[in-house]
Amino acid sequence: HVGSQQVDRKVDSVCPFCGVGCLLTYNVKDEKIVSVDGRDGPANHGRLCVKGRFGFDYAHHPQRLTKPLIRKPGFPKDFDQAPRPGDWSEAFREASWEEALALTAGKLKDLRDTHGKKSLAGFGSAKGSNEEAYLFQKLVRTGFGSNNVDHCTRLCHASSVAALLEGVGSGAVSNPVNDVEHAELIFIIGSNPTANHPVAATWMKNAAKRGAKIVLADPRRTDISRHAWRTLQFKADTDVAMLNALIHAVIDEGLVDEAFIRDRASNFEALRENVKGYSPEAMAPICGVPAETLREVARAFASAKGAMVLWGMGVSQHVHGTDNARCLIALVTVTGQIGKPGSGLHPLRGQNNVQGASDAGLIPMMFPNYQRVDNAGAHAWFENFWGVPLDEKPGYTVVEIMHKALAPDDDPHKVRGMYIMGENPAMSDPDLNHARHALASLEHLVVQDIFMTETAWLADVVLPASAWPEKTGTVSNTDRMVQLGQRALNPPGDAKPDLWIIQQIAQRMGLDWRYEGEESGVAAVYEEMRQAMHAAISGISWERLQRESSVTYPCLDADDPGQPIVFIDNFPTADGRVKLVPADIIPAAERPDADYPFVLITGRQLEHWHTGSMTRRASVLDAIEPMATASMCQGDLQSLGLEAGDVITIRSRRGEVAIHVRRDDGTPAGAVFVPFAYYEAAANLMTNAALDPFGKIPEFKYCAVQIRRGGAP
């Protein structure tokens, strides 16, 4: 460790991991980051978790890509041939930028001109900047010619956003996380904040210390339950039953906020009618929570001065994810717990910039700022703004694109070429054997990344990009704060800024783009994006960000301080009211049976981020959690004759992994939890690609598996 006085320079930026968006300072010595300090940002006030504080040296890892690579003719695109980790020289040869860019842009152009605009698709990144996300979606829409552009929001909160847009007219949070300070009741559902949003969890724990009641509702009894007033360990897949029971109890016990319903909501009668059949007494055996506990929580929620709901992917990653979120919207609406401090709806965003990438239009049905591509007014506005004709049909989503890559040759919408920037679907998609086969089947795949990821391994061309500390740009956190990160280092070797690479491909595909200025014109791109998103960020200029580091949107002019709490007077819906949408029980797409008797739940753990490409190359984090483990409760270990530390093989109808098992009595009986960050035991080999029909999000949180002792991890 080098003391902060001895460093060559200190550069202010933002943590590149989760959506909490902690501001930090990189301490640089001899062109290397040697330590990280927390800054007094609005989301963290100097705090950092283990990832933010110690997970920085991935940027200096010897496996960084430093040259463009072109696949050697005939080298097979499969994982049997994959070196783990490291030497890829058998599969790829180094190339100049000119050769790699000409090859990849030429191939994409040929496919588009031969097979039509739907033959191409792009996945952008929630780990890049807003400017990169904006330019990437603009390239796909104006250069590829379709709306086939998506990113990992599809795997994360797409169902929450579908319900929020439908219900309250905005997909973002209503109140920032640290507004829990003003809440009397904090309802956390389907989220493990101490592992996934650690600094946010510290605000929740602080609130509990000063007397706020935390209610944790989750099939897994995770760490935050130690601070909880009540833990509702409901049976996996019964979210709608439990939430409708809470709404039933609120109505049944005369706790509805009548004035709020009268003045600010619509469709209440339909909701009331629907939840009649969901009494706590009837739902208790289904969800596994005693009826009196459900009633007690409903009373406390309704009578609290402020009750705030925070949720994670335990809510969203189900075939009924949109229905789950509809129930949460209904719960805060019938109790009037929205539009004031210490209340509201907060879907905790996962990736550092999944909020911003979605805002910037990196989704197949929306232009920037959630303007629907099939809305005539929005379509005309963007055609005029970008000066090219645009497709008026929504594009395909992440999982649909994988299906379309394997479509028959005569399908006019068959996807044949892809550009993937900074995402790793060969690890993060459900049913990986299918997804990897789809990626390998493409006629051309170009991957832009900082490491040879599992996805890059299947590429025809690999373009070496910049790590977050090597570039300047903005990201938007879970609280709707637009925050500026500044370049601390130069990229290694011939690696280039992502913004530069996108522009090079665009120009070679015939787009006359000119973004002048430092760092590939990042400020000019931001200013164009600001015009495209004028209804949200028109008051946040580049100069203001350089001055203030962090500004919350909506922010409409230079004097607007930003609005951390929204919906105070009305909702941005057509009639200004919340639309209540009743939901009924829809079971998981694949339930346990005699052959596959256990439920697989996948997720993250504290030390490793997403598919592990960065954190597993961060020395401290890798030292703390070096290998994959599955978690099971003691009762299940005993019934299978297992002990903690044994190797087990977990198998679904789609794939299997061998993995060490650890004891965790917070994991419910009949379930096994596996983190998805480890390529050696890739959890998504087993997951089910069944989709929520509204958000098109896969059911990562529930599928049927069998477990046996033994195997080769």
Among 48, 284, 325, 650, binds ligand SF4 (CB under 6 A): 48
User: Taking CB under 6 A as the rule, does residue 18 contact ligand SF4?
Assistant: yes
User: Taking CB under 6 A as the rule, does residue 186 contact ligand SF4?
Assistant: no
- The interface region with ligand SF4, picked from 15-23, 227-235, 343-351, 657-665 by CB under 6 A, is 15-23
Considering only residues 557 to 576 of the shown chain, the ones binding ligand SF4 according to CB under 6 A are: none
Among 171, 198, 422, 473, binds ligand SF4 (CB under 6 A): 198
Among 11, 180, 199, 506, binds ligand SF4 (CB under 6 A): 199
Cβ neighbour number for residue 32 with a 10 Å cutoff? 17
Indicate the residue among 36 and 599 with the shorter CB distance to ligand SF4.
36
Percent of the chain as helix, strand, coil, to the nearest 5:
35, 20, 45
Nearest approach in angstroms of CB 245 to ligand SF4 is: 33
Indicate the residue among 13 and 317 with the shorter CB distance to ligand SF4.
13
Indicate the residue among 19 and 368 with the shorter CB distance to ligand SF4.
19
Indicate the residue among 92 and 311 with the shorter CB distance to ligand SF4.
311
HEC string of 566-625 equals CCCCCCCCCCCCEECCCCCCCCCCCCCCCCCCEEEEEECCCCCCCCCCCHHHCHHHHHHC
User: Taking CB under 6 A as the rule, does residue 22 contact ligand SF4?
Assistant: yes
Among 7, 11, 13, 15, binds ligand SF4 (CB under 6 A): 15
Which position's Cβ is nearest ligand SF4? 52
- The interface region with ligand SF4, picked from 43-51, 403-411, 638-646, 701-709 by CB under 6 A, is 43-51
Nearest approach in angstroms of CB 17 to ligand SF4 is: 3
Considering only residues 469 to 508 of the shown chain, the ones binding ligand SF4 according to CB under 6 A are: none
User: Taking CB under 6 A as the rule, does residue 193 contact ligand SF4?
Assistant: no
Nearest approach in angstroms of CB 208 to ligand SF4 is: 18
Question: How far, CA to CA in Å, does 640 sit from each of 324, 633, 646, 647, 661?
Answer: 33, 11, 11, 12, 12
Nearest approach in angstroms of CB 72 to ligand SF4 is: 38
Nearest approach in angstroms of CB 429 to ligand SF4 is: 23
User: Taking CB under 6 A as the rule, does residue 49 contact ligand SF4?
Assistant: yes
Distance CA 232, CA 294 (A): 8
Identify the DSSP state of 72.
Answer: P
User: Taking CB under 6 A as the rule, does residue 224 contact ligand SF4?
Assistant: no
Question: How far, CA to CA in Å, does 589 sit from each of 162, 236, 687, 702?
Answer: 20, 13, 11, 8
Distance CA 196, CA 312 (A): 9
- The interface region with ligand SF4, picked from 27-35, 47-55, 642-650, 654-662 by CB under 6 A, is 47-55
Indicate the residue among 145 and 350 with the shorter CB distance to ligand SF4.
350
Indicate the residue among 286 and 620 with the shorter CB distance to ligand SF4.
620
Nearest to 659 by CA among 579, 713, 596: 713
Please name the residue that has the structure tokens 């594009």. 395
Indicate the residue among 105 and 201 with the shorter CB distance to ligand SF4.
201
- The interface region with ligand SF4, picked from 13-21, 455-463, 555-563, 633-641 by CB under 6 A, is 13-21
Residue type at position 381: W
Indicate the residue among 104 and 477 with the shorter CB distance to ligand SF4.
477
Nearest approach in angstroms of CB 485 to ligand SF4 is: 12
Q: Max alpha carbon distance in the chain (Å)?
A: 71
Nearest approach in angstroms of CB 312 to ligand SF4 is: 13
Among 11, 13, 21, 33, binds ligand SF4 (CB under 6 A): 21
Question: How far, CA to CA in Å, does 658 sit from each of 519, 523, 646?
Answer: 45, 48, 10
User: Taking CB under 6 A as the rule, does residue 51 contact ligand SF4?
Assistant: yes
Distance CA 535, CA 527 (A): 14
What Rg do the C-alpha atoms of the chain give, in angstroms? 24
Please name the residue that has the structure tokens 């973004």. 515
Indicate the residue among 198 and 655 with the shorter CB distance to ligand SF4.
198
Indicate the residue among 88 and 468 with the shorter CB distance to ligand SF4.
468
Cβ neighbour number for residue 131 with a 10 Å cutoff? 30
Indicate the residue among 17 and 260 with the shorter CB distance to ligand SF4.
17
Interface mask (CB under 6 A) for ligand SF4, residues 52-81, using x and -?
A: x-----------------------------
Indicate the residue among 34 and 297 with the shorter CB distance to ligand SF4.
34
31 neighbors 489 (Cβ within 8 angstroms): yes
454 neighbors 610 (Cβ within 8 angstroms): no
Distance CA 36, CA 14 (A): 11
CA atoms within 13 A on the CB side of 531: 10
Indicate the residue among 53 and 93 with the shorter CB distance to ligand SF4.
53
User: Taking CB under 6 A as the rule, does residue 20 contact ligand SF4?
Assistant: yes
State the Cα angle at 67 between 66 and 70, rounded to 5°: 140
Q: For residue 596, what are the β-bridge partners?
A: none
Indicate the residue among 353 and 520 with the shorter CB distance to ligand SF4.
353
366 neighbors 395 (Cβ within 8 angstroms): no
Q: If residue 27 lies in a helix (H) or strand (E), which one and from where to where? A: strand 23-29
- The interface region with ligand SF4, picked from 20-28, 85-93, 374-382, 480-488 by CB under 6 A, is 20-28
Question: How far, CA to CA in Å, does 514 sit from each of 135, 361, 385?
Answer: 12, 20, 15
Considering CB under 6 A, how many residues would be counted as binding ligand SF4? 14
Nearest approach in angstroms of CB 49 to ligand SF4 is: 3
462 neighbors 492 (Cβ within 8 angstroms): no
Nearest approach in angstroms of CB 577 to ligand SF4 is: 35
Burial bucket for residue 291 (CB in 10 Å: 0-12, 13-18, 19+): middle
Sheet of 481-485: strand order equals 473-476, 481-485, 550-552
Indicate the residue among 53 and 660 with the shorter CB distance to ligand SF4.
53
Nearest approach in angstroms of CB 555 to ligand SF4 is: 21
Tell me which residues touch ligand SF4 (CB under 6 A).
15, 17-18, 20-22, 44, 48-49, 51-52, 197-199
